Amino acid sequence: MSESAGLLAGRDFVEVRFGGSGGQGVILMGVILAVAATRDHRYVIQTQSYGPEARGGYSRSDVIISDRTVDYPQLLGIDLLVALTDEAAHRYVAALRATGVFLFDSDEVRDPPLVPGASYGVPFARLALEATGRAQAANILTLGAVVGLTGVVRAASLEQSVLGMVPPGTEDLNLAAMRRGLGLLGDEWRRESASQGALPLG
């Protein structure tokens, strides 16, 4: 079990879904999180699905993180849904558990679906552009935010996973994006989403 703090840190079994479109790095997000969880000495299964289009089609990555052996490789529900597009938010939200966490890009998901659990909107791509000069770093920034909010893996494990998985020469840029996500403040979590029903942090 990891020693993280966060909304999901105390759970011994967590089912995560990242949803977005081709070209947003959604598959890589799932792989990086899965590798980070193995660094926390947990059992992990990662699966993925995507449309035939290289860019613009749907993309999905699922990660199961457990303290015990995982017997079934598919999600039975979602404890953490991370949506980078409006389509992903509305396509997958029905599977979110009542105790789950919904995290979305508030620039892309302008009318987020209501959920019974915690819901947070952050303009990930915009923040990535501001922090690194590249909106494409939004996936790594989002992973930092995921870990900072939920504690689903340790921050140190995420950093090691990011360094091992991103293309050579982009390590500094991606670490800057990850740390920006980890360091999001309460008012930044509320930004763009408080008026839409998302819950403030803290």
Q: Is 2 domain-assigned? A: no
Q: Is 199 domain-assigned? A: no
Q: For residues 177-188, give the mean pLDDT.
A: 90
- Please count the residues of the chain: 202
Provide the pLDDT for residue 190: 53
Q: Is 143 domain-assigned? A: yes
Number of other CB atoms surrounding residue 117 within 10 Å:
16
Q: For residues 169-175, give the mean pLDDT.
A: 97
Q: Is 184 domain-assigned? A: yes
Q: Is 150 domain-assigned? A: yes
Q: Please, which residues bridge with residue 53 across strands?
A: none
Q: Is 183 domain-assigned? A: yes
Provide the pLDDT for residue 152: 97
Query: Structurally, how many domains does the chain consist of?
Result: 1
Give the pLDDT confidence of 59-81 residue by residue, as tens digits. Answer: 999 999 999 999 999 999 999 99
| Containing structural domain, residue 99 | 13-193
Q: Mapping DSSP to helix (H, G, I), strand (E, B) and coil, where does residue 132 land?
A: helix
DSSP state string for 32-60 = HHHHHHHHTT-EEEEEEEE-SSSSSSEEE
What amino acid is encoded at 62 in this protein? D
Q: Is 85 domain-assigned? A: yes
Q: For residues 139-145, give the mean pLDDT.
A: 98
CATH of the domain at 128: 3.40.920.10
Q: Is 4 domain-assigned? A: no
